[in-house]
């Protein structure tokens, strides 16, 4: 079978290789397992970008846990956030009294994670923390704590390992920079 046709802009350099991602996700899993052992936390994956990170992370977590997903959208197909966050899919279980860990692909302006934290906090969980694969701290507009971080990255638009540009490139096993040209 020939590789799928790629639409959208050309790929630039690989920023984080597949092996590097795998090793870091296993380290995050160990750190989270230490902190949440016996707590049966609810890991909430943020649709759609964090799906691939989430499935690798839960398999690196040797503890009892619950999974759920929440959907938001803030990008209208461009590489700049519109700044407006809308809920496209809500949690499927109550989280009152539970330890919630939001699992996000990348924290950019911080608006999405800050919105999600407020939305989850309104349901009276025992705790809410954030695990993000990538952090573009340079772009921050809203302060938000990242409790577990995979990689700090520069201010570039990246795709792969779940992250897309206009719906394309989520399936790449590594993280690449989208060509600026
Ligand atoms: P924020 O609300 O500006 O922090 O944006 C966070 C969301 O924007 C993330 O959940 C991603 O879905 C998306 N995003 C931000 N930067 C990138 C990127 O470089 N590639 C792909 N998606 C991104
Ligand atoms: Mg996202």
CB of 172 closer than 8 Å to CB of 12: no
Taking residues 110-130, report their average pLDDT: 97
In the chain, % of residues over pLDDT 70: 90
Q: Atom 19 (ligand 1): residue with closest C-alpha? A: 157
Give me ligand 1 centre to Cα 106, in Å. 5
Please name which ligand lies nearest the alpha carbon of 166: 1
Residue 101 in tokens: 């860990």
Report pLDDT for 79.
Answer: 66
Residues 6 or more apart from 175 whose CB is under 8 A from it?
14, 15, 16, 21, 134, 158, 159, 160, 161, 163
Taking residues 137-165, report their average pLDDT: 97
Report pLDDT for 181.
Answer: 62
pLDDT tens digits for range 27-84: 999 999 999 999 999 999 999 999 999 999 999 999 999 999 999 987 555 666 667 8
Q: How is the beta sheet containing 99-107 ordered, strand by strand?
A: 86-89, 66-73, 42-47, 99-107, 127-135, 148-152
Which residue, 149, 150, 148, is CA-closest to 36? 148
Give me ligand 1 centre to Cα 107, in Å. 6
Q: Atom 3 (ligand 1): residue with closest C-alpha? A: 109
Average pLDDT of the chain is: 93
CA distance 58 to 25: 9
Cβ–ligand 1 contact at 130 (below 6 Å): no
Report pLDDT for 82.
Answer: 67
Place of tokens 């704590």: 145
Q: Atom 16 (ligand 1): residue with closest C-alpha? A: 108
Report pLDDT for 173.
Answer: 98
Cβ–ligand 1 contact at 75 (below 6 Å): yes
Taking residues 145-173, report their average pLDDT: 97
Which residue, 172, 153, 148, is CA-closest to 52? 172
pLDDT tens digits for range 95-118: 999 999 999 999 999 999 999 999
Active-site positions read 108
Please name which ligand lies nearest the alpha carbon of 155: 1
pLDDT tens digits for range 70-82: 999 875 556 666 6
Residue 6 predicted with pLDDT over 70: no
């Amino acid at each position: 079978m020939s590789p799928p046709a790629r639409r959208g802009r050309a790929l630039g350099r690989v920023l984080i290789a597949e092996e590097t991602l795998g090793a870091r996700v296993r380290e995050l899993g160990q750190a989270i397992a230490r902190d949440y052992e016996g707590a049966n936390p609810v890991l909430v994956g943020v649709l759609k970008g964090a799906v691939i990170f989430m499935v690798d992370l839960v398999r690196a977590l040797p503890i009892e846990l619950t999974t759920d997903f929440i959907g938001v959208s803030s990008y209208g197909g461009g590489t700049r956030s519109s700044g407006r966050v809308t809920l496209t899919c809500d949690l499927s279980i109550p989280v009152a009294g539970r330890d919630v860990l939001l699992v996000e692909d990348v924290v950019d302006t911080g608006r999405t994670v800050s919105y999600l934290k407020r939305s989850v906090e309104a349901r009276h969980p025992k705790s809410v923390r954030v695990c993000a694969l990538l952090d573009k701290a340079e772009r921050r507009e809203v302060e938000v704590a990242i409790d577990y971080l995979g990689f700090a990255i520069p201010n570039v638009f990246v795709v792969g390992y779940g992250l897309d540009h206009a719906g394309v490139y989520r399936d790449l096993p590594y993280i690449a920079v989208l060509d600026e040209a």
